[in-house]
Structure 1
Amino acid sequence: MGLVFGVAQVGELVENAMQVTRAKVRSHPASGQIALVAIDDRSIADFGPLPWRGDMLAELVDAVDAAKPRRIFIDADFATLGTDRQATALARALRGASANVLLPTRFTVNPVTGAKTDHAPPAIFSGSGTPVNTNLFVWWDDAIWKHPYAVNVGGRLVPSLSSELADVRHPAPDLFPVDYGIDIRSIPWFSASDILNGRVSAADLTGKSIVIGRTDNAVERFRVPGLRPVPGVMFHLIGAETLREGEPINAGWIAPLIAAMLFAAAVLKLRRRWLATALFGFTAIGLLAGPVWLEMQHIRVEVVPALMALTVAGVARIVRSMRRAYRLRGTTNLITGMPNLQALRQNRLYNGMVVAARVKNHAQITATLPPQQEKELVEQIVGRLEFGSGGATIYQADEGVFVWLAAEGSEDGITQQLEGLQALFRSPIVVAGRLIDLSVTFGLDLDGSRTLAQRASSALVAADEAARDGKRWATFNPASVEDADWAMSLLARLDHAIDNGELWVAYQPQFDGQTKALIGAEALVRWTHPEKGQIYPDQFIGPAEQGGRIERLTYFVLDKALAVAGNVNRGGRHFTIAVNLSVPLLSSDKLVPTVERLLHKHKLAPELLTLEVTETSTLGSAEIQIANLEALSALGVQLSIDDYGTGFSTLEYLRRIPASEIKIDRSFISMLNKSQSDRIMVNSTIQLAHSLGRKVVAEGVENEEILQELQQMGCDIMQGYHLGRPMPWQDLLSRISEGEAFRAA
């Protein structure tokens, strides 16, 4: 396995992550002897858009050279210098510079033909400076992990900019690993605008190697491992800083693997477990921490193959120990020596009754008993069970569970046995002079068609049900298996329901609180199962959120609702539609594009859609979620805080969410005419919302008295059974066509 990981580089992702971690541990500032003069967005704003022509760049070179730097490199596209006069101005400035000048050369590769094309400065720059290569080697993950010493360009070996800046001469076009232990953010840089305007002290540049390059927002960027992407020119500087500290030695993965295999062999051979564990830990720590010290000596190693070899040895040792322990345990309980459930499973099908006994307070009792007294406790329990079950073999499981096979007979006969056992356990057990009361319940399984392992579990389920219901025993009901099967396959059934039209959308009308006009509706999902009938939303929406199916369910409702709203509004009405939005969905990068696509599909203006976010839910990935909410608001979609008043962060939600309305929870509205505190709360909420420029929706308007109270308080929008129950879209269209206002539903 170590060889596979080394030769095939299977663990490259892990190796890279470890390198990033080690770099952060060794983090230290750059030398400060190499600085960047950045043609940034401020420089472009001050001195004109890119590309800068030759005369402009010449002015920048002159300004930098006036500070007496050691070297000057200008990372410019010499094909965009403008007129011959402008290009000549730059050539003249470079030839006249007192600093050593470095000129960029590079090559490009045609992605279709593979043809290589060399790019060098025009002939007028001949003699203006030393050519250096500026190619970057970008890995598959868009990061720069290694950098060249030199590159073949135009038939000759050209040193890289990094090598030249570090005064390193290498005879071959090899790559060296970039040391990101040097903090790339510590490299000094200056805006070209400040240089040209004389706002930079000459002392900041004197004697340093100066690289002039673009850092504006439009320039190509690459990923610094462990950090954000940065402009390409920065990698030449960090490469130079790496070489300044010492040429890195790449020791590879073979040496660590050989060392790890020697230690792994010892881990497998040592007989004492503690000694093997200590050696394993020592080796693992060495493989993890050792490279930090080696990298401080400029030696790079790859340790994932070695770690894999050591891990395989450790796992093999654990598996061997587990097999030995399993054989030791076999079919008996290690503490009591009694047969366990593994012994029960070795029996064939049994047509008689399976009985399980559960000692409900077993954990509380054994928590205070040493192992020897626990054995004595179990022996006394088993003695009573054997006596009350007619001498049947008792199988001991964990957590105070005992199972036996009842002799064939009637259910009445076994219940009489259980009555007798209950009587036996009314007397306390004496363990080491202590009186211990036991609480025992029993469960029966009568279904002889299943395996003993299944039947033992079923009998235990029945015993737990008896304990929950306050009974002394219970018989397992096979119908509960069907219910369990339904619960386990709920999400798959939900997908099937969407595909087969079992899910549909009901619409609850919403009315203007002042004009009484029917102005919109809330879309509510419904599930009508062909066998189980109506399935309530709280039975499948929660599991859909937890099981990752809420996205499809929400978009199904949104699609149907927008289709209805689009149909209504094409008739010339101003009709809004509200759809509930699950908080987990707010973290999806598909949310905003999907909403925008569906609005366009159904030709509905964004301001006619309201997305309701439940206030009782907490925002998890707050930045992503708030960004999505702000994007929806910018799109024109209205946002509403649903179930307002039931959460723990009401004012926080009002501050953070760009909502245009709040929806007061029905629990406050339904008691409006009976509770003075609810009346005060609702009224103050309406006034607060209005002062913040938000509308208020009241849900749960159940009678005329509540309706009138809300009107007096100035509530903007109302909905509830008194005004209209959730209904199919055909019924909604009928009510819209009647143009009716408030009426009792």
Structure 2
Amino acid sequence: MGDQRISKLAEPILGRYRSLLGGRLFERMRNVLWAGLISLALYGIWFLQPADQMFWLIQSRIAERSPSGDIVFIGSDEVLNDPRSPQRRYELAEALDELDRKGVGKVYLDMTFAESDDPEADKRLARAIADLGPRITLIDRKVYGATVDGAIRATSPAIAGAARRVVSDQTDRDFTGLAWELHYSYVVDGKPIPSAASSMAGVGGNSDAVFSVDYGIPPSRIPALPIAALSDKAAFAPTDRVEVTGKTVVIGHSGQVSGNQQIIPGLANAPASFVDIYGAETLKSGHTRTLSGLPIVLIFSTLLMAASFLSKTRKRRWLSYTCITAFAPALLVAAAQIGLRVELSYGAAVLIIYAIFRSRVRWKRRLEMVNLETGLPKIRALEARLVRDSIASGHIVIAKIQNYERVLKTLRSEDKGSYVLKLVDRLRAADPNLAVYNEGHHLGWHVATEETEAVVEHLEGLRAIFAAPVQVGGFSVDVGITFGIASIDGDPPARMAAAIAAAEDTSEAVNPIAIAETGSQTDLLWDISLRARIDEAMEAGEIYCVYQPKIDLGTDSIVGVEALARWHDPARGFISPMHFIQQCEKAGRMEHLTRYVLQSACSAGQLLHFRGHTISMSVNISATLLGDMRIVGLVRNVLQATRFAPQSLTLEITETARISDHSVAASILEELKAIGVRISMDDFGIGAASFEAFYELPFDEIKIDRLFVSNIGKDPKALAIVSSIAAMGRDARITVVAEGLENPQDIPLLENAGCQQVQGFAFSRPLPLSNLLEYQNLSIERPAANMV
């Protein structure tokens, strides 16, 4: 009881996981997987880096953080390092002296000096630099040069003296001129030199390591003052508000100096020194982390998979997709606030590529849902609409156009669609807005009316409208139309199939309007699924053979067995052989089933012979296969594959009334007999063509139908028929087998009638091969009836 309860609880979960292996859920998962893989490929080649840089620009404008205030920029609108204007060096020297007097903490001189024509000016600048001692650092510039690594532009040693040096990289820019990453240090002449940014921040690192630059501080908030303010304090009141005592001061050219402009977010002509200042502020704040494209792709792919898996309805999926799409800008904003750079473009790529895949799938599905000749949606679109809109009431009506194929043969290709559309116009006589669906010779629509009688009455009125012919392509074409109706009982797909089946059962003369039975829909759907599962069932061993012994009445011994196909479905249980064989014929799989049964039977017969039981093996062959010589090759190939003796194989021809051409069937049977097998006529005595087939076809054996054998003891007419058939077989020198014997007391009657062999429940039911091997070792006792 507990196991059953657990099974019931687990079934929905297991069913959900099974659906992953096929259907639309698997399709969506596959689309997510491809979107993720393509995005990872783009990440591998940095294809979306320009898009990421646009996102970083947005992040920098969103953040609005404040600087540490420890770094002050002092800019000059004049070129201070031009060797042709040495007098500017005196001005710079005075500014350095002023900073010294103000107790500056550190000075970074972000400009390089070559020796000028005025040695005194150079000495004056060198003395000012020397006076600052260890507090001053000269910034050398890495610029584009002849080599891949670029060139280093440095201050002359005569001017620099013993001052410490760092490097500012002017080459590490993107296509827009922005610097998004800086190095911790550089290798110059084989020696590691700190970068200007890391030196200002007091953070070390190797030359291979880089860090992201956070531009979340608005340029206007960077403390700055002009260099002239240091030499003429009274003229510049702002100096009172920018304190330099104890601070780190960066002296460089302003953005007004040609060649010194640098683009940063929010300012197109910022001083070049601002890049290093922003780098130093980033290191001070610790906002150097980057959420790379790889985890971003994984995050968004996982979200899409979760949305596809957990959202069972289309509405919920769209809501989930909307939330995931909104998550992207929310992530961008949140990351900007905490100083985390996000390579969001790859997440956006996942969403966009997935949307493209899904749009393509929907486009193909819409295309598949439209009849190209008429432009009308197909019947399957009606089913999809009923499911999508959760319509569980009303009726489905399927109209069958009679003689549709014959009419199409007479019409030109351009008139075929017009013919159907004219019929649709008549269907819309009462409701011009009626949504009609078309597929093949079927027209379908949904009726909201709950009363079946009202629907039938309406359809009878439509049939009257269709009494008049339609004019198509200059011809007058008679119209025959019938209808199948199925009420919707909460399962639109099932009722759709029932309505189509009801329409197929209609005829203009006898049954123009058919109503599908509620109980028959399950059988119909089961039949459809049955046909699709025949091959799978054979591969899984669900279809197998059992064997019913044939007893020789003269020796009371088993002289043969008949192989009978059985199907045990895990869900449905045992399926009637007559039922699934009919479905095999409808599905065109009869030849495949015959090969399967013949292979199993001959293999079993070979095993019986190996165990010392030399008995014959009988296999049923459908009369429908006697129209093609392929059955001869099939039998020959199976006998060769199993090495079973042909003389021990009997082919029982069933339903001989269905043989369409006796001359063709006779030639096929002769070829089979030439192989060595014996031919038996099954179910003799019933069917209009039995005597004709017996006369024209080369049979070695006839089997009297169970209808007469089972009634031999209680109906004199049955006994007379059995006796006459036995006498006819004896005169024709062929074996006579009575099948369907159920009462052991009837055995003497069959012996007196002249039957040589008998089979039926009186001796044994059909047995599995393992039981048959045991049964072979038992002696036959006539009173031991109904042995299983």
Query: If the length of structure 1 is used for normalisation, what is the TM-score?
Result: 0.44
TM-score in terms of structure 2 length? 0.42
